[in-house]
Amino acid sequence: MKPTRPGVLVGLLVVFAIITWALLKPLYSSLPTVPWTAIPTVLLLAVGEIYSGWMTKARIERRGDTKPVEPLAVARLAALAKASAYGGAIFGGIFAGFTLYTAELLDQGVPRRDFLITGGSFVVCVLLVCAALYLEYCCKVPKDSSEEDR
């Protein structure tokens, strides 16, 4: 599996932001208000991935009293990190599109509420992408010192 390229994630975010912004022009008035529950949910996912990355790296490097980590567990964590990075970029783009659209309507009550919620959701999605990239980095197998000497 190749490492996730941040440029692809930024591209996904921008494309989904543009598509969402364009779709909201005719549809925004018929949509329900945006729920606030995405913010704590995605934040908990990001914190969990940061902690998993930190513990996995410690176990791979066999620091302290940590037990060795199973290779299959590391592969699963790497797959989770890759999926979270892409999912966070896509949903971050959707929330960015909402934020951009509602920024024009801040003088109204409901769009101002949606702006704050989608802005917060965008921020935690970016945090999730960063956490996923960190977890993916922590899942790398360290180079063997005997291979470097050759």
Domain that holds residue 117: 1-29+77-139
Residue 47 lies in a domain: no
CA distance 100 to 94: 10
The count of other CB atoms within 10 Å of the CB of residue 19 is 13
Residue 42 lies in a domain: no
Can you read off the two tokens belonging to residue 103? 């920024």
**pLDDT > 90: percent of the chain:** 64
pLDDT at 61: 85
How many folded domains does the chain comprise?
1
Res. 114: pLDDT tops 70: yes
DSSP 1: -
Residue 62 lies in a domain: no
Q: How confident is the model at residue 145 (pLDDT cuts 50, 70, 90)?
A: low
Residue 56 lies in a domain: no
pTM, two decimal places: 0.88
15-56 pLDDT, tens digit per residue, is 999 999 999 988 888 888 889 999 999 999 999 999 999 999
More confident residue, 18 or 147: 18
